[in-house]
Amino acid sequence: MEIITGWDFRLENSCVSLGKFDGVHRGHRFLLSKVLEQREHIPTVFTFQLGRDAKRVYVQREKDRILEALGIEREIVFPFDEETRNLSAEDFIREVLVERLDARYICVGDDFGFGKNREGNGDTLRRFQREYGYELEIVPKLACDGRAISSTRVREHLARGEMEQANLLLGQPFFLSGKVTHGKALGRRLKMPTANLVPPADKILPPFGVYATMVSLGGRQYKGVTNIGRKPTVGEFSTGVETFIMDFDEDIYGREIQVSFYQFLRGEKKFSDVESLVAQVNRDKVAAAQFFEN
């Protein structure tokens, strides 16, 4: 997938969907399916570059991976700067969608807003459709359990550790990816080696605690038990993500893994001693294995 950042691009023959696409949830996927159906044009996603302080369900590289897997061929990560904020709705259509993207087909949700002070919407796109010669499709929000699927709903479930509900809305298990880093090797000394990840600062995490997970590595998947937190029993203070990978004993430091979260097992707690921690981790391993067996 071609990834383009900034203003400096001139493309041809785009069929494009526009939005933040945080989480690329099932509602987003429904939008993107409309783009992917347009065989005569190049499937393209237009999204805005969020500020560094913005928390994301998936950070940019994770979102890129999902979009590519879905079949999107081009992604525009557009700066949300002062110039962008001051573009009128019509200027955005003409200068960005028509002149830079050569949009032949545009698909947006029925709540999409754009232009200065979000003055533009689906009706605005429809008003200029004949003048600029693009085809337009406005898609209503997809619903689940009688409510619209949204990034806000996904975030709410993640904040409560409700992984099954979040995953249902996302259309796939929530995941965290990155390179395995060195920890204090306490797990190896206790004969329970773990793969440690340092979560990006802009990544949304579910509550501190222990989860049943699946680990993707080198095209294979392994069952896992993952702790998110600060490991108070052994005196850690920075937030980390460490995973015990079942039926696995390889050195994977520096390798890329993806940890997918399926169920919250228990909250993080401080144990009176390391032996009590080990006993609990062994119970966690059994609980996670039972979850995947059921």
Which amino acid makes up residue 71? Answer: G
For residue 235, the model assigns a pLDDT of 56
Contact status, residue 235 vs residue 248, Cβ threshold 8 Å: no
For residue 191, the model assigns a pLDDT of 58
For residue 187, the model assigns a pLDDT of 52
- CA distances in angstroms from 257 to 176, 203, 226, listed in the order given: 8, 16, 13
0.85 cut: is pTM over it? Answer: yes
Query: Per-residue confidence of the chain (294 residues) as pLDDT tens digits?
Result: 999 998 888 999 999 999 889 999 999 999 999 999 998 999 999 998 877 677 899 999 999 999 999 999 999 998 888 888 888 999 999 999 999 999 999 999 998 998 888 899 999 999 999 999 999 999 999 999 999 999 999 999 999 999 999 999 999 999 999 999 876 555 555 556 789 999 998 999 999 999 999 999 989 999 999 999 876 555 566 788 999 999 888 888 899 999 999 999 999 887 777 788 888 888 999 999 999 987
Q: Could you tell me the two tokens for 206?
A: 């579910």
Complete domains list, the chain, with CATH: 2-148 (3.40.50.620), 174-293 (2.40.30.30)
Contact status, residue 191 vs residue 281, Cβ threshold 8 Å: no
**Residues 269-291 as b or e (16 or more Cβ within 10 Å = b):** eeeeeeeebbeebeebbeebeeb
For residue 8, the model assigns a pLDDT of 85
Contact status, residue 259 vs residue 177, Cβ threshold 8 Å: yes
- Crossing angle, helix 151-159 and helix 163-170, to 10 degrees? 160
Burial grade of 172 (CB within 10 A; 0-12, 13-18, 19 or more)? middle
Contact status, residue 25 vs residue 155, Cβ threshold 8 Å: no
For residue 284, the model assigns a pLDDT of 92
